[in-house]
């Protein structure tokens, strides 16, 4: 369990950092820095369908490493559920499912 969890976390973290480093170089070349991000969203729909996220532009690409890194703990919890099912530890399958559900709920709370 430990090795699998460790590998999942490593993949998400290093992938996110590698993409971020590439994007930093592009940011330097483009000279694009906004200290005050002008876009505010009120729901998941407005976040996803705003011109800056789903449309293919530099700002939307900048969100890629951020979303990858946010998904790392979620992937870890999902893997834990599978591991506890494999171990037939019903109590902890239930506990881990609660944590997972809370994380999913947090995604939709804003909508």
The residues that touch other proteins, with contacts defined as CB under 8 A, are 1-3, 5-7, 9-10, 12-13, 16-17, 20-21, 23-24, 27-28, 31-37, 39-41, 43-44, 47, 59, 62-63, 65-67, 69-70, 72-74, 76-77, 80, 91-92, 95-96, 98-99, 102-103, 105-107, 109-110
- In Å, how far are 18, 33, 35, 42, 72 from 9, measured between CA atoms? 14, 29, 30, 30, 6
In the complex, the smallest distance separating the C-beta of residue 12 from other proteins, rounded to whole angstroms, is 6
Inter-residue contact 24 to 95 (CB < 8 Å): no
Q: How far is the CB of 55 from other proteins (least distance, A)?
A: 15
How far apart CA 64 and CA 52 sit, in angstroms, is 12
Minimum distance, C-beta of residue 68 to other proteins, in the bound complex (Å): 10
Residue with tokens 């019903």: 90
d(CA 105, CA 99): 10
To other proteins, the closest distance from the beta carbon of 54 in angstroms equals 14
């Amino acid at each position: 369990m430990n090795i699998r969890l460790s590998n999942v976390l490593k993949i998400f973290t290093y992938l996110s950092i590698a993409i971020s480093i590439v994007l930093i170089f592009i940011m330097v070349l483009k000279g694009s820095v906004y200290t005050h991000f002008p876009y505010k969203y009120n729901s998941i729909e407005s976040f996803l369908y705003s011109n800056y996220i789903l449309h293919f532009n530099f700002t939307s690409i900048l969100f890629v490493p951020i979303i990858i890194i946010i998904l790392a703990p979620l992937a870890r919890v999902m893997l834990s559920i599978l591991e506890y099912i494999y171990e037939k530890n019903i109590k902890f399958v239930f506990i881990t499912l609660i944590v997972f559900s809370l994380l999913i709920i947090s995604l939709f709370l804003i909508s």
